[in-house]
Structure 1
């Protein structure tokens, strides 16, 4: 039986700073990638979910 792993990574995308529009800030959200593995530990599929606050 294969397995799956969820990995959350920071979005890292630069977005306008709401408190100071002249500057940008790194998006604080995270996005999740789910990796699916077969019985031999080979990655057979992955599914990415977009950033949960700042879009993709």
Structure 2
């Protein structure tokens, strides 16, 4: 496993945690399906942001 992959995974986990905590704080009574959708989308976005941060393009 490359060092960049570990950084991306840690960044994504931290990003998902923050988004889930904020969504629970601002929207306290959401269903399980909504929480799963928010978690999945934040993992996707966090992974994309982490990839852009830790593997910049060489152009």
TM-score (normalised: structure 2): 0.27
Q: Rg: which structure is higher?
A: 1
Higher relative contact order (CA 8 A, sep 6+): 2
Give the structure with the larger helix fraction. 2
TM-score (normalised: structure 1): 0.28
Give the structure with the larger strand fraction. 1
